[in-house]
Amino acid sequence: MKNLLIIAGCLFALQITVAEELAVAIDWGLSKVEIKHDGKPVTIMRSQDLDNTVDPRYAKTSRKCPPFCIQPIVIAGGVQTLGEIELIDYISRAVTDDSILIIDSRTPGWVSKGAIPGSINIPWAEFNPAAGTDPLLIAEILEERFGAVSLEGLWDFTHAKTLVLFCNGMWCGQSPTNIKTLLKFGYPAAKIKRYRGGLQDWEILGLTVVK
């Protein structure tokens, strides 16, 4: 028992040492994550400036509702809601696992101001029949980008990718809209994940953004 306690203590000390490589770590034992965004290396980490403040675009607390209403934690049955640690894990895995896709559902104007590393942009309005998107274009995205297979009018999602979607924050309806569209087309809820905090929470935690 004594030896086990010594080993556990050493492992705990090792975790602290790794985390303390940076003054502001992501989590115990996790200082930063190295990935690629658009083929270029990017380091995901928190700002080391202890006086850093949130981008003013994400400091606003009140927007007209509708449409900017508070979104529920659970957007649909079977769709998992993620926090930052879980999202970073998916981003890390997506580097070598092409069955995972991180999707920014925001409009290009927002994306150009800063995005979460490792994500691709599929704007909500380009994946929404209610916004006038041609269903054939949606079908093209399902097949060519998400890995679904069309079989005589039916969809086979056996080998479809796991999708992780986000938008601007807990008041933003863009990724929920994309998720609801996916479900209407029959995409399995178990293969859909949602980062509810979006760019607002990501910025509040001082995490890396790319432009």
Q: Is the pLDDT of residue 143 over 90?
A: yes
Phi/psi at 129 (nearest 5 deg)?
A: -55, -35
Q: Is the pLDDT of residue 69 over 90?
A: yes
Q: Which residues are CB-contacts of 36 (< 8 A; sequence separation ≥ 6)?
A: 42, 95, 118
pTM of the model: 0.88
Does the pLDDT of residue 71 top 60, yes or no?
A: yes
Distance (Å, whole) CA 24 – CA 135: 46
CA 168-208-115 angle, to 5 degrees, is 40
Domain 32-204 has CATH 3.90.226.10: no
Give the pLDDT mean for 48-70.
94
User: Half-sphere exposure (CA, 13 Å, Cβ side) for 81?
Assistant: 13
Q: Report residue 139 as tokens.
A: 């079908």
DSSP label at 24? S
Q: What pLDDT score was predicted for residue 16?
A: 37
Within 10 angstroms of residue 118's Cβ, the number of other Cβ atoms is 26
Tens digit of each residue's pLDDT (9 = 90 or more) over 2-36: 444 344 444 333 343 344 479 999 999 999 999 99
